[in-house]
Amino acid sequence: MSTPAQAAQALFELTYDTVPTAMFKAPGRVNLIGGHTDYNEGLVLPAAINFHTVIAVSPNSDNCINAVSARFGAEVQSWQISSEEQQDNDNAPWFNYLIGLCRSFLLTGLDIKGMNVAIASNVPLNAGLASSAALEIAFAMALSEQNQLHLSNLALAQLAQRSEYQYVGFECGLMDQMISACAREDHAMMIDCMDMSAKPIEIPDNLSLLIFMPTQPLKRSADDYHLRQHECAQAAQHFGVESLRELTLSQLEQGKASLSPTLYKRALHVLGENARVYSAGKALQRGQLAKFSQIMAQAHESMRDNFELSVPQIDQLVDSINQVVGDKGGVRITGGGVGGCVVALIDHDYTEAVFSAVEGEFSKQTGVDVTTFICHPSDGVHQLSIEQA
């Protein structure tokens, strides 16, 4: 099977009958802990994973972005570069991410020129593993480097988030774009979404990073995601703060009587989750796996009970894994609670037993098959040499 880099280069050559002049590679991500804290200006602890989107490019003289995707068919999509508002491409929604980034660059005062583009990716779709962010960040670096803008990786993440919010219509936090842009191999990254600072947290080499994705769709609607955003904003407004990051637990408890039970639970999750992210990062740094396991269990319970974004089958999957690893690994729902995935960071020695439990007992009891991804914490976006493909 070809790598995304090989596939992107081959597609480029087939489509444009020439070799690309540059290639850019950006990873997907898994969020270890920090569910729905990013858009509340809180703390998150994601890691980039060794599933990537690769973009092969070369300049053109027709002032157009011409793009083709291996994943979404071989038809070339084209967009005339302009700062003026133009109709989105309803037939190729993936192409709107590229259009949105171009608009974001232009309206920031950054000039861009025409490019031919070919895209390949192995980041799983609809799994909460940031396939869209990987596309955005790879293309953002392509725009930056091909136009000699040489923007920082943080700037790429900010432009990508802005374009997704303004032009794609998804009001996301900064986490996905920032980890895809700024990740470090063998590390998770604690990101403060208020001041956009980031601290790498080394993942001990005796731990396996696993993602379990049910093959049947168990996720809730994206409407639930937006509803939680709205509820968090309502809770913040109730207390007269810009975001829940500015609210303290004592303030929340003092104002509990004047808050609806639903909004109280949403705020309680966010405040507790910020504390859990910080503690989880410290536990990893100190090699305190039992403590990390406990914190991850608390995070899953809060997503289930306070944020109400899990589903019974996901809860059972988490329980099945926990029964095997005990305090030798952390397990929780991931993907914002909408993607329907489970992440586990566990002692290597328990990996095979976990596979057996998931593929055997869990699937037999629920009738739900699970795809397991064995991941490695990856570097953020970077340029590839053509030879690397």
Domain with residue 68: its CATH number is 3.30.230.10
Same domain, 80 and 183: yes
pLDDT of 255 reads 95
CB of 112 closer than 8 Å to CB of 105? yes
Q: Are residues 241 and 186 in the same domain?
A: no
Residues 304, 164, single domain; the answer is no
Q: State whether 344 and 212 are in the same domain.
A: yes
Task: Return phi, psi of residue 282, to 5°.
Answer: -65, -40
Contact 203, 223 (CB under 8 A): no
347 is annotated as an active-site residue = no
In the chain, the amino acid numbered 107 is L
Task: Enter the DSSP assignment of 204.
Answer: P
Residues 211, 349, single domain; the answer is yes
What are the backbone dihedrals phi and psi of residue 55, each rounded to the nearest 5 degrees, phi first?
Answer: -120, 125
Predicted local distance difference test score (pLDDT) of residue 215? 83
Q: Are residues 194 and 314 in the same domain?
A: no
Q: Is the dihedral of CA 238, 279, 212, 329 positive or negative?
A: negative
Catalytic entry in 62, 176, 224, 327: 176
CATH number at residue 341: 3.30.70.890
Residue 113: the pLDDT is 96
Domain count, the chain: 2
DSSP state of 377: B
DSSP code of residue 110: -
Distance CA 193, CA 200 (A): 14
Nearest-10 Cα torsion for 376, 382, 383, 384:
-10
Instruction: State the Cα torsion 150-186-369-330 to the nearest 10°.
Output: -120
Nearest CA to 269 out of 30, 40, 31 is that of: 40
pLDDT the model gives residue 222: 65
Joined tokens for residue 11 = 């597609």
Q: What is the rounded (10 degree) CA torsion for 209, 213, 218, 222?
A: 70
Q: What is the pLDDT along the chain (389 residues), one digit of tens a residue?
A: 789 999 999 999 999 999 999 999 999 999 999 999 999 999 999 999 999 999 999 999 999 999 999 999 878 999 999 766 665 666 688 999 999 999 999 999 999 999 999 999 999 887 889 999 999 999 999 999 999 999 999 999 999 998 887 777 666 778 999 999 999 999 999 999 999 999 999 999 999 999 998 887 666 666 788 899 999 999 999 999 999 999 999 999 999 999 999 999 999 999 999 999 999 999 999 999 999 999 999 999 999 999 998 988 999 999 999 999 999 999 999 976 665 789 999 999 999 999 999 988 888 888 888 999 999 999 999 999 886 55
Burial 96-125 (b: 16+ CB within 10 A, else e): bbbbbbbbbbeeeebebbbbbbbbbbbbbe
In the block, residue with structure tokens 């590390």: 187
Task: State whether 153 and 52 are in the same domain.
Answer: yes
Phi, psi of 168 (to 5 degrees): -95, -30
The pLDDT score that the predictor gives to residue 87 is 59
Q: How many CB atoms lie within 10 A of CB 51?
A: 24
Q: How many CB atoms lie within 10 A of CB 14?
A: 12
**109 and 221 fall within a common domain:** no
Q: Write out the E strands in 133-196.
A: 187-192
Q: Domain check: are 92 and 157 in the same one?
A: yes
Q: Cα(323)–Cα(301) distance, rounded to whole angstroms?
A: 15
211 and 139, same structural domain?
A: no
Residue 359: what pLDDT? 86
Please report the pLDDT score of residue 337 as a whole number. Answer: 62
Q: Are residues 233 and 157 in the same domain?
A: no
Burial of 236 (0-12, 13-18, 19+ CB in 10 A): buried
pLDDT for res 82: 79
**For residues 55 and 98, what is the distance between their CA atoms, to the nearest angstrom?**
11
| Block residue for tokens 């057996």 | 356
Q: CA-to-CA distance for 379 and 371, rounded, in angstroms?
A: 24
Among the listed residues 110, 132, 106, the one whose alpha carbon sits nearest the alpha carbon of residue 121: 132
pTM of the model: 0.93
Q: Do residue 43 and residue 180 come from a single domain?
A: yes
Q: So what's the pLDDT on residue 225?
A: 82
The domain of 344 spans: 207-375
**The pLDDT value given to residue 174:** 86
